[in-house]
Chains A and B, each alone.
Chain A
Amino acid sequence: GAVVSQHPSRVICKSGTSVKIECRSLDFQATTMFWYRQFPKQSLMLMATSNEGSKATYEQGVEKDKFLINHASLTLSTLTVTSAHPEDSSFYICSAFSLDTLAPYNEQFFGPGTRLTVL
């Protein structure tokens, strides 16, 4: 399957700082990227949907000014956690998706995740 990378894999930051997480599709062009957050022993929760060249669509309850998403190209989306607080500590996972109307289904490929710890 296709490869999606995330960088960094782990980050520790002080409260009040901003952290940028990159999501790259390495061998295909992703029309859409999704950002998820996962707390311990819970399933993935969709935060936002990012389409190349347009503004991200955020899920209810997710602050768009706090979680800035930029999808500047078909292979790169970034999530910036602004003014991070300890409650933002979580596992952030992206997925990349390419709409192929000829395919029986459209696969989403997940990145390996980024563990954010805010002190």
Chain B
Amino acid sequence: KNQVEQSPQSLIILEGKNCTLQCNYTVSPFSNLRWYKQDTGRGPVSLTIMTFSENTKSNGRYTATLDADTKQSSLHITASQLSDSASYICVVSRSNDYKLSFGAGTTVTVRA
């Protein structure tokens, strides 16, 4: 069973609208949670990284939240742009071996 679950699997939104992606994890021992953006045919690019003590972190129009008690995170995209069309991957790092556990990703399609 995947230790990082993302929802929805995909979504389509109109340009200018907001959306929120969800991530639940069971990875332990927890070190940090990251959100990556991956364009088709490219490597993942880091959007945010949060440690246990951080509840929210923003990077431009991207805002991530983390609830370490419930082991849930969200990524909110504000005022979406066509260039936001990509796969968004939730990744959790373990503190004992630094290996990353990847979610399956949410494919976001922004339409004009």
Contact = CB atoms under 8 A, between A and B. Distances in A.
Interface string A87-119: 000010100010100001111111111010000
Q: Is the interface of B mostly helix, strand, loop or mixed?
A: strand
A91 B99 contact: no
Nearest to A99: B98
Contacts, number: 49
A108 B89 CA distance: 14
Contact of B46 (A1, A49, A99): A1
A interface residue count range (under 10 / 10 to 19 / 20 to 34 / 35 or more) = 20 to 34
A105 B91 CA distance: 13
Contacts of B45: 110
A105 B98 CA distance: 10
Interface of B: 31-32, 36, 41-46, 49, 51, 89, 93, 98-100, 102-105
Interface of A: 1, 4, 6, 32, 34, 42-46, 49, 91, 93, 97, 99, 104-113, 115
